[in-house]
Amino acid sequence: PHAPPPTAPLTPAIHILHLLHPSHTCHPYPPPPTALSHLPPIPSTSYTPLTPATHTLHLLHPSHTCHPHAPPPTPLSHLPPTRSTSYSPPTTLWLTERTNLTVPRILFTTDAKLGWIGHLAPLTGVILDIILIIMVVASRPFVRRSGYFQTFYWTHKLYVPYYILTFIHAPNFWKWLVVPVAIFLAETFVTYIRSRGGSTITRVSLLPSAVTQLVIKKPPGFKFKPGDYVYIKIPAIAKY
């Protein structure tokens, strides 16, 4: 006979399911040894005890499964209930998926069949992480203030492949991208039109404390007020 259940509340009830060897369990109040033995085996081309079986337990929607070889849903309602002083809705667990794929195969191949374009969700996620790390490091003050502005500038051009890969990685990302991209393209177009006015440097003076004074002829239609700033591009120093 089983020992009496504890009097302390345990909500929700937690059952430990020993999935690889269902005849053994270390739970203090175990179900009968054959609790999972009635489940049919799932076809697999290779399996070793060193490869952990991955099981998806659908807690919120236990009636849905997407595994092509999943066994028919069998409720675990025969497990003995755990005494609780407060009520909680009953939870049914379903054993729905088993895989022998290793982490490298999931991340760097398409064997896991994840993603809506070419099953590239894991691989594009890895590349997105690498791009984001490069952009964050290149934006640090020790890069921008050490004469490596070109490094900062060109690494941030990686936002173009970043958004393309994000579109491939997540099927609904484009819904959140349409409005920001439209605003960005409009701002880029306006900047390009304004930059075509041209300018002429009429005088250059070298002042103390490494200060350079530039006297520039004002382009037609150029309006400004005190406190404004401008971008000055000198191709002999840097293209951007």
Q: What is the pLDDT of residues 2-32, one digit of tens each?
A: 555 554 444 343 443 434 444 444 444 455 5
What is the 8-class DSSP label of residue 228? -
Higher-confidence residue of 212 and 221: namely: 212
Distance between CA atoms of residues 19 and 97, nearest Å: 12
Same domain (yes/no): 154, 72: no
Residue 217: CB partners within 8 Å, gap ≥ 6?
A: 199, 200, 201, 202
Enclosing domain of residue 187 = 121-196
Higher-confidence residue of 196 and 47: namely: 196
> What pLDDT is recorded for position 57?
38
For 36-54, give the DSSP string.
TTTSPPPP-S---TTSPPP
Q: Is residue 151 part of a domain?
A: yes
Same domain (yes/no): 21, 95: yes
Same domain (yes/no): 72, 132: no
Same domain (yes/no): 140, 184: yes
Alpha helices (runs of H) in the chain, residue ranges in sequence order? 103-108, 121-138, 141-144, 149-155, 159-169, 173-194
Q: Is residue 226 part of a domain?
A: no
pLDDT average, residue stretch 90-107:
67
Choose from 47-51, 67-71, 208-212, 232-236 the range with maximum mean pLDDT: 208-212
> What pLDDT is recorded for position 32?
52
Place of tokens 């697999």: 44
Same domain (yes/no): 39, 132: no
Same domain (yes/no): 4, 62: yes
| Overall domain count for the chain | 2
Same domain (yes/no): 88, 163: no
> What pLDDT is recorded for position 93?
52
Q: Is residue 230 part of a domain?
A: no
Q: Is residue 106 part of a domain?
A: no
Position 111 pLDDT exceeds 60: yes
Same domain (yes/no): 16, 60: yes
Q: Is residue 231 part of a domain?
A: no
Q: Is residue 137 part of a domain?
A: yes
Same domain (yes/no): 13, 64: yes
- Token pair listed for 84: 């609780």
Same domain (yes/no): 89, 142: no
Strands 211-217 and 200-207: antiparallel
Q: Is residue 212 part of a domain?
A: no
Q: Is residue 116 part of a domain?
A: no
Whether the Cβ atoms of residue 71 and residue 39 lie closer than 8 Å to each other: yes
Same domain (yes/no): 92, 159: no
Average pLDDT along the chain: 70
Same domain (yes/no): 87, 137: no
- What confidence category does residue 216 fall into, taking pLDDT thresholds of 50, 70 and 90? confident
